[in-house]
Structure 1
């Protein structure tokens, strides 16, 4: 139960990212026209939102800090793995979501909606139970604070976000509470989505079409000339470099040596890192007491716990009793074992008993917010500092890496300075090294003789020809380089680029041929009223699907919710028109069509109704949000810092 909290758990971090993201950015709608016309000039404030009208002028406004916008935008950028240049776009999207959120909070306050601290506690206990209450036990105040602050947010801000989220949930429930769908609409919706079809389909394969195209040289030359702009920079910029590469074996005086004194010094300076907290290994049995239970229920639970504790004291098998009686689902199957527990991980009552009970002993029965427990300590480890002898072997390679890395960096700086004055050749000769020269390389090229030349190429494409030599890391060493020559991006000669031109020609022509062939196939199939005959004439393969629904997939077609969904609108025996699926396309004929039975509709009625209600509520609330934001903007209740919110160019 507690092991998830004893290590760096990726799931926990992911859940926190979701919590924070969901709690901050509620939705993103296109920017409201004119919203940048007002100006909130307060330093560090991206936008300011107040209620419209006289009450809004007298009341408090809500400021949206620029730092908050940028912080969330950067998180979103990282989570979606987008390039850095997309940050301004992401910042505007995040800001718009925060503005909408601020407007909704003003509206919730206007409607006198409230969220208490107890509501927040209940939310943490229910929605976030796996994070903060694994196995029903609170992780402890210190761990709670640590988990939240490790995500770059304060406890106060986190709980405020949770409170705001609850407030907006209540607002949404109020606005959409009257949304309903009729029983007939639900049945009709499921009838449509429950239809299943089986069909023959003729596949026009775009890749096969592409392979069959055989343009002449004159066609390719004409295509090359007509697309001159496309090929104007087809041959990318290339650069020629000279460089001196070295590793630790080339260091003057050899590799730096690590002495016992170095290790002792490092150990003394990092004693805190080798401190091991006191911990105990415990197992427990919980007899749960529901919240709000009456005295009789409470007394019965206590009596059961005391009875089990006496059995353990009398020599009964603790693990067997835990598996048969404990109400802790996270530990009962493990005989009540919670593993090693440190301070700050359990609720106070449990922690006190764990650390005050001697190893090998069983505690008295005690009560927590979850019910009655008793525990047994199977192992105790006092707080200690790991001795130097125990960690020495891990310190030495760390210091070696630091010293060697520092020495190589210093040597690289020295070579760079000398090469700037004397040139690469003279510098290399003075240190017994060799200058190497590359051919013309693109930004994604490979530098021979260097384990990792990516940093050198990246830096080489950011400097000018003739700039002073620069140093870069190369994986297991360093290099000092300079750019000898630059060959600008340019258009290739047709003869040199013919194979590329042929690929481009085929890629552009193939979809046209596919569409023409699809239309001809569909028209012919309808005339013959026979898809297989038409396909045979066009030399196209015909396949047969299984009985498939709207959420199913079919080979060569993919999801039936895409363009092929037209199949569900056709009658049995009906032939479709051309269905374009990107590079490929199909024409199909319906062999069998089955609608859901009354029993199936009834069985799925509740699920379908809930999905329809949820969708309609979202649509209604989206309209509400849009109207409120427009009202606030027209009333001048949304003020933006023009500099912070300046539109960006794609």
Structure 2
């Protein structure tokens, strides 16, 4: 078989290339559907068998974990990519198996050269850095040395077989000429440029034509209503300056919120990890001796942090001298937790065996469960209480200012001065113009809600074609048309419109995900059908001489189906991931804005209910 591929008869190599492709594709089609079949008994973890080698679910999971860790797969599309990775892994093993059957071999020296080219950092100044460093590097990729070297051998054998197949590709002079014409052929185009300025002086427009044009297009010359404004900005900073918080108020808040300031029992620990995952019993015994030697050095007075940097295989904490900061109960595996919470500060544990390997643990500090004292949390508590009081005070000041302005401009200005509010005089504006001191700040809409100027805010929303504006418009339209509606009814309308807007956003990108998932499958189906047709023709006719070139062309055209499916599916999935991220961000912003809108309306509805019960209007004046 090996000599056949070295044959100069191109038809023979074409036929063998087609047979090799058929082997890979048939294994994908016939073996992959058994993935995850619970009825397979003891072989439930085996996805495919290629010769004496098996592909397991664990290997696929490791590849997927590595791809996700390196951000090569868009989050949320794992189920789409799993079948593609399985197909690729089965095809690679099938090609490597065929290469081995044809006599291809990779010696240990060739394997070492290949690894040196792939991971040059393992060979400093041309010398191998050692098995421990090699193993530690692969452990970061969640792989063992045998797994990695087996994958390298498969890839090398596949590459050799592929290069040998490509040597038989024939490019005729006609192919070269056609490609050159496709890339470089140009066309001469004649065109005429008409200059409008040349003919403008020849056009005469009568007053009657101008009047007719005006009458037909009056809407183009409409000027919107303009109004001058006086804006009274009620700012958090100004309101906060008028408030004082005494210790009595803070202590009351501390008493009411004491659960916030309780801290559980915790310890601050360092550790050294000797990783034993995917190791044989003999290897684990050797690693245990190594861990015992490190423990002996620590108990002899060696620097724990320095030994952690040199030996720990928890690479996240090793660079910090093994420090993993504070931990609480339930945060680590049971064996690690029992050892950590069973020691006093400064003590070093014996070897602790967990699912990860052997640990040497030192407790640096310990804190029992406690209630943080008032003096410790006073500043934090002051900021929270002040923030809540400022919001309530702003609401009250805004309502009182509105009531004062309703009585008279002089009363409103006097109230504003007494509360540190500086009015802003605004020249006449159109509805779409930004307001000085406010601009397009969404808080302006909030201010309109607080004044209960729902119709004014509704007009603003109707001018903005945005999801949040449409939700707000729907809410306020219902509230203004149904003044007797309860807050719960208004809330239901808001949630329904929010769900509708979210569905519309998701529906606009759903087809990209469908195309990305279906296109590769259709391509594979087309390839399979094409191969079936081609080999049916082989069985029906005697392909000899030049006829075999036509057979190879048929095989090539069949494989184009898979390439076309991937060419369509991969960009579709990429764009789907990009747009889905943007849609999710928009939906999050919509939810936050809707929640804020509901909170503001809830305050207004409660205030209106209290005012009705007391016989006063929303501004505090008798009805």
**Greater helix proportion:** 2
Q: Which has the larger radius of gyration?
A: 2
TM-score (norm 2): 0.40
The answer to which structure has the higher strand fraction is 1
Q: TM-score, normalised by structure 1?
A: 0.39
